[in-house]
Amino acid sequence: MFQATKEFAEILDQKDSLANYRNEFYLQPNTIYLDGNSLGLLSRRAEQSLLDLLASWKTLAIDGWMQGEHPWYYFAEKLGALSGPLVGAKEDEVIVTGSTTTNLHQLIATFYQPNGNKTKILADELNFPSDIYAIQSQLKLKGFDPETHLIQVKSRDGRTINEEDIINEMTEEVALIILPTVLYRSGQLLDIGRLTKAAHDRGILIGFDGCHSVGAIPHQFHDWDVDFAYWCNYKYLNSGPGGVGSLFVHEKHLGKMPGLTGWFGSDKEKQFDMKHEFSPSQTAGAYQIGTPHILSMAPLAGSLELFNEVTIERVREKSLKSTAYLMDLINEELSEFEFTIGNPLDDVSRGGHVCLEHEDAARICKALKLKGIVPDFRAPNVIRLAPIAFYTSYVDIWNSVQILKKIMVEKQYEQFQNEREIIA
């Protein structure tokens, strides 16, 4: 299918229907950025939407809450509606608010209702640590010991989680399940629909962390009957460092009292009545707590413009082709250097990045950065490489593998310590 020549990469770029979108982003000279699964690059449209919101503060002051192109009072709901097509949600099911972990706290506080012997939370042992911290914290607040009430499904290979093993742990003691859509190290994509059905067949609520999939992979959260989901917007959605997160709540749960209430979760028509009786919104907006962070949300408006123009299906199509091409080049060019591809190879189970394992991964990443390639290291031995559909060309991928090969042939990585920097 692929050929290991630069000419072939150039042909792929010529045929790429998304190639022109590369011009929408601020790419640095002499740099190939393969870390968009940690922090996406700034687009010109995201920059403009930030400037637009800044201008509304400048010119409208307090009236910006109800006037201008993006009235601040409804901004979170507007962005939620624009996000809906990315995750297969109805307009009222998504709200842009909080951060990944604060949203998870909100959702656990709402949906974890231990009753009788149904008191445990099921997760997995490879999930991002912050999710586990939040689960442990919420268990303690309910008076339960995480050592006994948090079940973490074991990995058979240290990379992936077997879905049968997850389903086998869905016992009558489990009240809630929280899983990643995509595992952050290996890039394994779980079968969300299958796991949701299995949970509901056993009377268990289930939610998903979409941080490593939303913006790279189409989802159908509503049709799959997912109870809730949450994600950040600064990775594949390019909303900027510390960008405001998002959450999804299925419409069947709308109207439910949030576990953590705050005034911006109020019914919009009643919020400024200033009564001490909380009247929750009948949309996902009920799960907001405090005043929206308007300027931190602003870049997302421009970024979502790009996604709704291109569609998430086309993004996924290029992402799959790019990661397949990258893996093919790795196998062709780097076979003698003891690399292992740790992500699933099939399209159905692969997320948006390639997980490249090597015992010298930390210092290989440092050598790559010295040569203008920006990867991502995850302990203990993972180099994550994420070709982003909007701005990574096939020639970028070809050049990256050639540079990595030169680093290995000349052992340039040996000048560095094999340990991560403060931020990996």
Nearest CA among 312, 398, 389 for reference residue 17: 389
Q: What is the pLDDT of residue 1?
A: 75
Q: What is the pLDDT of residue 420?
A: 85
Q: What is the pLDDT of residue 204?
A: 98
Q: Provide the pLDDT confidence category of residue 136 given band limits of 50, 70 and 90.
A: very high
Tell me the whole-structure pTM to 2 decimals.
0.96
Mean pLDDT, residues 116-141 taken together: 98
Q: Is the pLDDT of residue 423 over 90?
A: no
Nearest CA among 211, 270, 206 for reference residue 38: 211
Q: Give the Cα separation of 123 and 131 in Å (integer).
A: 9
Q: Is 209 annotated as a binding residue?
A: yes
Q: Is 223 annotated as a binding residue?
A: no
Q: What is the pLDDT of residue 378?
A: 95
Nearest CA among 139, 75, 145 for reference residue 104: 139
Q: Give the Cα separation of 265 and 386 in Å (integer).
A: 36
Q: Is 291 annotated as a binding residue?
A: yes
Nearest CA among 205, 221, 43, 238 for reference residue 122: 205
Q: What is the pLDDT of residue 421?
A: 85
pLDDT in tens, 323-363: 999 999 999 999 999 999 999 999 999 999 999 999 999 99
Q: What is the pLDDT of residue 282?
A: 97
Q: What is the pLDDT of residue 164?
A: 98
Cβ-contact 79, 86 below 8 angstroms = no
Q: Give the Cα separation of 24 and 362 in Å (integer).
A: 31
Local structure of 356: helix, strand or coil: strand
Q: Is 128 annotated as a binding residue?
A: yes
User: Domains of the chain (ranges plus CATH)?
Assistant: 6-30+311-415 (3.90.1150.10), 48-310 (3.40.640.10)
Token couple for 341 = 């591809």
Q: What is the pLDDT of residue 393?
A: 98
Q: Provide the pLDDT confidence category of residue 424 given band limits of 50, 70 and 90.
A: confident
pLDDT in tens, 387-412: 999 999 999 999 999 999 999 999 99
pLDDT in tens, 83-117: 999 999 999 999 999 999 999 999 999 999 999 99
Q: What is the CA radius of gyration of the chain?
A: 22
Q: Look at the block and give the residue holding tokens 């800044």.
A: 54
Q: Provide the pLDDT confidence category of residue 380 given band limits of 50, 70 and 90.
A: very high
Q: Is the pLDDT of residue 144 over 90?
A: yes
Strand partners, 354: 385
Q: Is 101 annotated as a binding residue?
A: yes
Q: Is 26 annotated as a binding residue?
A: no
Q: Is 225 annotated as a binding residue?
A: no
What does pLDDT average to over the chain? Answer: 97
Alpha-carbon dihedral sign for residues 97, 102, 104, 105: negative
Q: Is the pLDDT of residue 422 over 90?
A: no
Token couple for 201 = 């067949």
Q: Look at the block and give the residue holding tokens 């939407």.
A: 49
Q: Is 380 annotated as a binding residue?
A: no
Q: Is 353 annotated as a binding residue?
A: no
Token couple for 281 = 């919104």
Q: What is the pLDDT of residue 224?
A: 98
Q: Provide the pLDDT confidence category of residue 47 given band limits of 50, 70 and 90.
A: very high
